[in-house]
Amino acid sequence: MHGGITMPAKRKVPKPRKKERPTLPPQARAERQGLNLQEAKARYEQIRLQFIQTELELAATLVDLAKSSRDPQAAERRTARAEEAYDSAIHFLGQRGVSPEVRREMQTRVKEVRAAIDSLFQEPPAGERRPDGVMPASSPR
């Protein structure tokens, strides 16, 4: 009660429900966007291959950053992220629909990136630091 006036109890107003749109089959979605299904599939393939290439380039860049890092923890994080980017590229490259020619073409880059990642785990020559900042033991003479 405020100054002799009784306030009415607040009433909860139900929120309006969202209209659920029916899920359209791929052919209908593509047609709605002005594409036929074949064009949509080709566009999807193009985008997927660009994504794979981008992930491989990201992995290679992270390897380079890990190698040049003076901070062992930063090198470790970059190495882990390089592995994630590589794994992502492999995942999408392994999906159905990638033509054998494209797969062969991409395999060269995949092998290069894998070798670069693996090189992070190899011992450098005596006197050089590993990416994690650890100096290898000097070789016995």
- Please give the DSSP secondary-structure letter assigned to residue 36: -
* pLDDT tens sequence across 92-136: 888 777 778 878 888 899 999 999 999 988 866 666 655 555 444
The pTM of this model reads 0.63
| CA 121 to each of CA 33, 57, 70, 134: distance values in angstroms, whole numbers, following the listed order | 48, 19, 16, 11
**pLDDT above 60: residue 57:** yes
Amino acid at 63: V
| CA 2 to each of CA 7, 10, 103: distance values in angstroms, whole numbers, following the listed order | 8, 15, 76
Pair of tokens at residue 48: 């997927």
* pLDDT tens sequence across 63-93: 999 999 899 999 999 999 999 999 999 998 8
Amino acid at 95: Q
**pLDDT above 70: residue 140:** no
Q: Does domain 33-119 have CATH number 1.25.40?
A: no
